[in-house]
Homo-oligomer: A and B are copies of this chain.
């Protein structure tokens, strides 16, 4: 399997023979179909949601599937993932990040297909499900089961990734309206991390970070005292990122 061509010389040393025809070398490699799969999270009714479509494979009839597509011939995988999002949701500038690659040879019933999982976060309000994609729906992450392929595993890994990521990076704001109340923000964290947090300490924490811009506006659709609306100051954040040098495990 190893691909270096080597020869012993008289000093018992080796010299690799240099390969001059890189194209020929690459042509000798096995080739594998590649897909990208997008784990698209949203937040609605105080629940973390995931956008799924019915599998279009007979063998997975009635099972849910991540939004994916194969990667084009010379397409960078990030581009493929953005393309999937654009084609399915019409959204352009969404948060997207590669999570990991899944390669089990039996993961696809049609033969070996390698897939690269991407995690995307989008604000459900900004998003119009395209009518064409009738079976495209938001599902509660907590309750979804019966997924096609290894998509349950991919979703779980992306969910764990998100839980960790949201603690260390301001991703969560991609799931909220541009202007949000602290209660909404806390609900988001509680839903994603699946824990309860102390309201006073939560507020103290975010105010201390000092990345929330007070818009002066208030909620207007609530049947009780409305909360103040804030925006996240991405600009200030990007100039302030600090590095943690602790050790903790």
Q: Mark A1-30, 1 if CB is under 8 A from B, else 0.
A: 111111000001111111111111111011
Q: Mark A33-77, 1 if CB is under 8 A from B, else 0.
A: 111000000000000000001101111010000000111111111
B33 touches A26 (CB 8 A): yes
Partner of A71, one of B18, B30, B54, B77: B30
B248 touches A167 (CB 8 A): yes
A73 touches B30 (CB 8 A): yes
Residues of A114-159 contacting chain B, CB below 8 A: 114, 116, 131-135
**Smallest Cβ-Cβ distance to A68: which chain B residue:** B3
Known contacts A134-B14, A249-B170; is-contact A33 B22 (Cβ 8 Å): no
CA of A15 to CA of B135 in the docked complex: distance in angstroms?
8
* A20 → B minimal CB distance (Å): 4
Q: Mark A174-208, 1 if CB is under 8 A from B, else 0.
A: 00000000000000010001010100000001100
A110 touches B25 (CB 8 A): yes
The verdict on A108 contacting chain B, using a C-beta distance below 8 Å, is yes
B168 touches A71 (CB 8 A): no
CA of A103 to CA of B83 in the docked complex: distance in angstroms?
15
B112 touches A74 (CB 8 A): yes
**Smallest Cβ-Cβ distance to A74: which chain B residue:** B105
B-side contacts of A219, CB under 8 Å: none
What are 12 A-B residue pairs whose CB atoms fall within 8 Å in the complex? A1-B72, A16-B56, A22-B108, A26-B108, A27-B110, A29-B35, A30-B71, A32-B33, A76-B103, A167-B248, A168-B248, A197-B245
